Amino acid sequence: MQPESPLFQKRNTDRIHGEALNEAQEQELAKKTRQALEYPDAMEQSELIGLVAENEFLENLNSHLSVDNGEIITIGRLSSLDPRAEAKLFQPHNKAESEQHPGVEFATSVIGFDVKHRYRDPYDKNKDTGQLLLFKLDHGDADMTAKDLELGTNCRFGAFIREGNVQPFAIEMIEDDRDGGQERMQLNHLDPEQDGEEHTAVRDEIRMFLQQRQQDS
């Protein structure tokens, strides 16, 4: 269909152009984020014992991924045989003071994990499905570690990097009526229309992280 054709003229070319541009920008953001996660400042292994405790963030997260999507963050082929999770640690990319807490510097840093498809056969090889990025908020002098991640205190937001897409999410604890009102983790994917403010904020934080990594390189 040529631009001079009347069939071309009757199409909403502005919308098509906008969609193509947004898709290209999305793929570029995902590519740069994936590349940045390949070069952490440090690596750290945590052993996930398999019994999900209320305050064990990584165990809850690994269990949630496995149950809902058949994915895991443990590096072994079976969590029960090799329950280690390998975290990619990054120096804070943003430090700022809050008017509500004068004199205290807050630091935001990224913690990354490779996400793998979970196989039940210990002889099968887990297949990487993408990357998991978490934002950790702590005081400026805090240690660079994933072992003190605590939902609702220093970690509530992140994103999956999959197949050329950045998928922001929020993590919350909700009461499960099926389990006597016990709290369980819920991972909510942020919709750009329904959760526009938080969806945009997560993506902006990723761009800030990428900008800082580029300046440090």
Over the stretch 85-118, which tens digit does the pLDDT of each residue have?
889 999 999 988 877 777 788 899 999 999 887 6
Letter for the amino acid at 181?
A: G
Mean pLDDT within 46-50: 72
Q: What residues pair up with 96 in beta bridges, in sequence order?
A: 106
Tokens read off for 68: 């809902």
Query: Poorest-confidence range of 57-71, 88-102, 112-126?
Result: 112-126
Q: How far apart are CA 114 and CA 109, in angstroms?
A: 17
- Please give the angle made by the CA atoms of 151, 199 and 41, to the nearest 5 degrees: 60
Three-state DSSP at 90 gives coil
Over the stretch 140-170, which tens digit does the pLDDT of each residue have?
888 899 988 888 789 999 999 988 899 999 9
Q: How far apart are CA 72 and CA 115, in angstroms?
A: 6
**Does 129 or 188 have the greater pLDDT score?**
188
Q: What residues pair up with 113 in beta bridges, in sequence order?
A: 132
**Do residues 117 and 126 lie in contact, with contact meaning Cβ atoms separated by under 8 Å?**
yes
Sign, CA dihedral 192-173-33-27, equals negative
Query: Which residue is associated with the tokens 């939902």?
Result: 151
Letter for the amino acid at 101?
A: H
- The separation between CA 62 and the C-alpha centre of its own chain, rounded to angstroms, equals 13
Beta-strand pair 101-117/94-98: antiparallel
Of the candidates 64, 58, 30, 32, the one whose C-alpha atom is nearest the C-alpha of residue 46 is 58
The residue ranges of DSSP E strands in 118-191, in sequence order, are 128-139, 157-162, 165-176, 182-189
